[in-house]
Structure 1
Amino acid sequence: MHAPDPSRDTYDYAVIRVVPRVEREEFVNVGILMSCPAAKFLEARIEVDEARLRALAPDIDLDTVRRHLAAMEAVCRGGPGSGPIGLLPQRARFHWLTAKRSSIIQTSPVHLGRCTHTGDSIEHLMDRMVRVPRG
């Protein structure tokens, strides 16, 4: 077994999902929520594949989905204009965003990883969990 690399930071992430009909429990992954306290990093990276959502729920209100996802991004940025949750400490915001809920926007359970660069790691997670593989 290898010793942990001290140059790598630990991060937590959850997959952001749109669940058009909560009772059916069907969803489309639309983003990654990632927190790395050592790097003072909290970001929601979102890419909505509207065609996939419409295939699952032809009557979905995409404007409402976009507003909810934009609110998640604002809470991650924090500061003025991000609402009361956006004024909480960064780690508390991550926990609030990943709390279990039954709404159109949900997150997966929280997972953990290690990285040397948060930007590369969140892109890797987007490729692996959100973007449809090409080819």
Structure 2
Amino acid sequence: MQDKVTFEYAIIRLMPKVEREEFFNIGVLLFSKRKKFLDIKYHIDPKKLAAFSCEITLDELTEYLKAWESICKGAPHGGEIGALEVSDRFRWLAASKSTMILCSPTHSGLCHDPTTELEDIFQKYVL
């Protein structure tokens, strides 16, 4: 267990009509301070999207999530948020929002490899 590191994650949810409080999981955001790791993995099922809303396009949502990817990577086009420390970027992305893309409460755990853990959580909660 000595080689394990702590991590935190949040499930990314799509809630097309906030007032209805109906959502489905579209991704995972995972952060490990010790590994200086922050990444996102997402998939939007077009059939689920069509069942939830005909007003939002897959392209629109993909553009929003690409912005989240830029923030995770600390890319220059990630704006002011992308320039923050890794932990601050995670906190900003995982913060409670009243938008159609939001996150679950954060959860924590121990892992050997954050990339593998991200994939495992993604498979379990999104696909």
Q: Which digits, 9 at most, give the CA deviation of each residue in 1:46-94, with x for residues without a partner?
A: 1111111111113323222111111111100013111110000000000
Pick one of 81, 89, 114 that aligns with 1:118.
114
List runs of 5+ in structure 1 lacking aligned partners: none
Aligned to 2:4: 8
More helix by share: 2
The worse-fitting range, judged by mean Cα deviation, of 89-98 and 79-88 is 79-88
**Where does residue 86 of structure 1 map in the other structure?**
82
TM-score using structure 2 length? 0.95
Distance 1:11 1:129 in 2: 17
Percent sequence identity over matched residues? 38
How many pairs does the alignment contain? 127
Match of 1:63 in 2: 59
Please give the secondary structure, in 1, of the residue aligned with 2:115: helix
For residues 84 and 49 of structure 1, what CA distance do their matches in structure 2 show? 30
- Which of 102, 108, 113 does residue 104 from structure 2 map onto? 108
* Aligned-partner Cα distance in 2 for 1:57–1:102: 17
Task: Quote the RMSD (CA, aligned, Å).
Answer: 1.0
Aligned-partner residue type, residue 119 of structure 1: T
2:7 match: secondary structure:
strand
**Residue of structure 1 aligned with 2:27, choices 24, 31, 53:** 31
C-alpha distance in 1 between matches for 2:3 and 2:73: 26
> What's the TM-score once normalised by structure 1's chain length?
0.90
Q: Residue 129 of structure 1 corresponds to which residue in structure 2?
A: 125
Q: 2:44·2:58 contact (CA, 8 Å) conserved in 1?
A: no
Structure 2: stretches of 5+ with no match in the other structure = none
Q: Which runs of 4+ in 1 moved over 6 A?
A: none
In the TM superposition, residue 42 of structure 1 has moved relative to its aligned partner by 0.2
State how far apart, in whole Å, the 1-side matches of 2:102 and 2:16 are. 10
Q: How far did residue 112 of structure 1 move?
A: 0.4
